[in-house]
Amino acid sequence: MIEPPDNALPGIDRSTATPLHRQVYERFRTAIEHGVLRPGDRVASARSLASELGVARGTVEAAYSQLAGEGYFCAQGQAGTVVSPSLPVQRPVRAGSRPVADAPALAGPAAPPPLQLGIPALDAFPRKLWARLMARRARAMGAADLFYGDPAGHAPLREAIAAYLRVSRGVACQPAQVFVTGGYRASLALVARTLLARDDRVWIEDPGYAPTRDVLHSAGHRVVPVPVDDEGLVVARGVRRSPKARMAVVTPSHQAPLGVSMSLARRLQLLDWASRAKAWVVEDDYDGEYRYAGAPLPALKSLDGHDRVLYAGSFSKVLYPGLALGYLVVPESLRERFENASRIASNGCPQITQATVADFIRDGHFSRHLKKMRLLYARRRALLVEALHKAFGDRVRIDLQAGGMHLIARFEGHRDSDVVLARRAQAAGLNCQPLSARGTTAVEGQGLLMGFTNVASPTQARQLATRLRAALG
C-alpha cells in the first residue's frame, strides 16, 4: 500500500486557499509524474489515507475520483485502487526539481558476474527448505518474538553455534561466549570498539582482505601489514615491525587471498607472541569448512591455551551473503565486556532470521548442506581448472590449495600486469581480481583470482575460459 511520499511533495496545508482535496490530488499527481509512484502501484484506501492525513474521507474520495477521471488512477474492485498500469513509466526525480537526466534511480539487486570471488553456489542453496523453515517460524511467532531480541544474539542460535564449533571446528566454548553479529565486518568492528584504543597498532596480513584494513583504519587504529609466505603470517616480521601491537587479525585456515594454511609452528609462534605481549588475535575463519583434500583443519582457537584468541565466523560462505549474519566467540575472561559492549547498539540481526538459522543447524540441514557443498565445489573447481588449461595450455599456472572458494591463475610470460589483465577480463564481464591489489609484499604477487563456486557445468566452464582468453589477448 503506497502513499505519496512527503519528501518530494507539498504537504497538506490548512492555511492556504487551496482546497484540501486539491492538495491530496496534487500530491498524487506529482508523485506519479516524478516517477515516485509507478504504474501498477497500489494506493491506500480512501478511509486509511483520510485517517493518516487527518482529513475527512470525502476529501480523499474527491481527490481519488478526479485522479481516476484524468486517467492517473484505476479502480480494481476488491483489489483496491492502483496507479493506472497503462501510464508510461517516469524516471524518478529529486525533490522539487523537474525531471532531470542525472537523477539517480536506485538499482535493484544484481546477480553477481561470472567468476565472482567469495560467494557460495547460489544455485545450490536449498531455497525450498529455507522457505519452509522461515514460514514455520513466521507462523509460530508469539509476543516475545515481536519484542526486541537479545543484542548478544538469539539464545537458541548461540547454543547451536557453540555446539557446531565444538564438534566441527574443535572450538570449545559456552553459548554465552558466542555473540551474533551482522557478519565479519560487524564482528571486527565490535572487537575494535571493545578492546582497542585510538592509534593502537594492529597486525594485518599482507596480502590480505581489504575490509579488515578498512574497518580498523576507519575506527582510528594503525594497521601494520605483515607479510604472508607459504606457511602463513610471518610472525617474526610482525614482531620486528611492531612488537607491542595490541592485536593481530589472521585467516589461518585458508589465508585470504593466497589460500595457504598457517603451519603449526607459526600458529604456536603467534599465540606465544600474543600471550607475552598481552595482545589479542582475531581469527577470521570465513571459509575454514571448505577443504577438498583431507579433513578441515582445526581452528587456531582450538590451540588457545592462554585465551588470547577471538574467533570470527560468518554465514556468508556457508549459507549465503544476503543473510548478513556472523558471530564472534570471545574468551570467557572477556565475556562481560562484550556483553556490555553489545548492549550499546542492536546487532542488527532480525530475530526470525536468527531463529531460522538455529533450526537449520539443529535439524541437521547445515552439516548436510556443507557436506554437499564440499563435493560440489571440488567438482566445480576441477571444471574451471580443466577449462583454463585447455584454453591457455602451458601459458597458465594454477595454484590449487587444499581448500577455499577461489583459485589463483598466473599467466606466464604475459607482459601486462595482473591489474591490466583483470581490467580486461572485467570489461568482458568476468569478475577476475588482481592478486597484486591485495597487498604490497606478496610472494609471487601477480595473478588473477577467480571464484569457481558458481561454474555450474563443463559447457559454462569452457565458455568462460574461451571468453577470458579472448579478453586477455
Q: Does 118 bind ligand PLP (CB under 6 A)?
A: yes
Instruction: Compute the distance between CA of residue 447 and CA of residue 454 in angstroms, rounded to an integer.
Output: 20
Going by C-alpha positions, the residue among 288, 325, 330, 327 that lies closest to residue 307 is 330
- CB 147 to ligand PLP: min, Å: 26
- What's the distance, CA 395 to chain centroid? 34
Which residue lies nearer to ligand PLP by CB, 67 or 186? 186
Cα–Cα distance measured from residue 279 to residue 26, given in angstroms and rounded to the nearest whole number? 63
Q: Which parts of 407-466 interact with ligand PLP (CB under 6 A)? A: none
Separation of alpha carbons 70 and 67, rounded Å? 5
Site string for ligand PLP, 182-221 (x = CB under 6 A): -xxx-----------------------x------------
CB closer to ligand PLP out of 211 and 220: 211
Bridge pairing between strands 232-233 and 247-250: unpaired
Looking at 314-322, 333-341, 410-418, 462-470, which segment touches ligand PLP (CB under 6 A)? 314-322
Q: Which grid coordinates belong to 150?
A: 537479545
Nearer Cβ to ligand PLP (221/438): 438
Does position 280 interact with ligand PLP (CB under 6 A)? The reply is no
Select the span of 31-39, 177-185, 417-425, 457-465 touching ligand PLP (CB under 6 A).
177-185
Q: Examine residue 113 and say whether the peptide bond preceding it is cis (omega within 30 degrees of 0).
A: no
Q: Binding to ligand PLP (CB under 6 A): which residues in 235-254?
A: 251
Q: Which residues contact 333 (CB under 8 A, 6 or more apart)?
A: 307
Nearer to ligand PLP, 194 or 453 (CB): 453
Question: d(Cα 107, Cα 172) in Å, to the nearest integer?
Answer: 44
Choice from 286, 338, 366, 411 touching ligand PLP (CB under 6 A): 286
Contact between residue 255 and residue 234 where contact means Cβ atoms under 8 Å apart: no
User: Of 62 and 215, which has the nearer Cβ to ligand PLP?
Assistant: 215
DSSP state at residue 2: B
Cβ-based burial of 3 (10 A; exposed 0-12, middle 13-18, buried ≥19) = middle
**Listed ranges 43-51, 54-62, 313-321, 422-430: which one lies at the site for ligand PLP (CB under 6 A):** 313-321
Using CB under 6 A, pick the residue from 238, 252, 326, 447 that binds ligand PLP.
Answer: 326
Closest to ligand PLP by CB, 185 or 213: 185
- Least distance (Å) between residue 119 CB and ligand PLP: 8
Dihedral sign for Cα atoms in the order 90, 96, 98, 102: negative
The three cell numbers of residue 88 are 508510461
- Cell 542453496: give the residue: 125
3-class DSSP state of 224: strand
Q: Which of 23, 81, 261, 314 binds ligand PLP (CB under 6 A)?
A: 314
With respect to ligand PLP, which residue has the nearer C-beta, 80 or 322?
Answer: 322
Distance CA 345, CA 327 (A): 15
Least Å from the CB of residue 78 to ligand PLP: 43
Among 10, 227, 321, 350, binds ligand PLP (CB under 6 A): 321
- Please, which residue, 34 or 380, has the CB nearer to ligand PLP? 380
At closest approach, how far in Å is the CB of 118 from ligand PLP? 4
User: In Å, how far are 137, 296, 351, 374, 380 from 368, measured between CA atoms?
Assistant: 21, 15, 24, 10, 18
With respect to ligand PLP, which residue has the nearer C-beta, 218 or 466?
A: 218
Decide if 445 contacts 435 (C-beta within 8 A).
yes
Select from 206, 284, 304, 359 the one that contacts ligand PLP (CB under 6 A): 284
Neighbours of 184 (CB within 10 A): 25
Nearer to ligand PLP, 249 or 384 (CB): 249
Q: How many residues bind ligand PLP (CB under 6 A)?
A: 13
Assign 312 to helix, strand or coil.
strand
Segment near ligand PLP (CB under 6 A); pick from 137-145, 180-188, 242-250, 407-415 = 180-188
Instruction: Work out whether 359 is an interface residue with ligand PLP (CB under 6 A).
Output: no
Give the H/E segment covering residue 130: helix 127-139
**Residue 321 CB, nearest approach to ligand PLP (Å):** 5
CB atoms inside a 10 Å sphere around CB 246? 20
Tell me if 116 contacts ligand PLP by CB under 6 A. Answer: no
Near ligand PLP by CB under 6 A, which window of 61-69, 133-141, 181-189, 229-237?
181-189
If the CB atoms of residues 43 and 282 are measured against ligand PLP, the closer one turns out to be 282
Nearest to 328 by CA among 182, 467, 123: 182
Task: Evaluate whether 96 touches 8 at the Cβ level (below 8 Å).
Answer: yes
For binding to ligand PLP (CB under 6 A), which residues are involved? Answer: 118, 183-185, 209, 251, 256, 284, 286, 314, 316, 321, 326
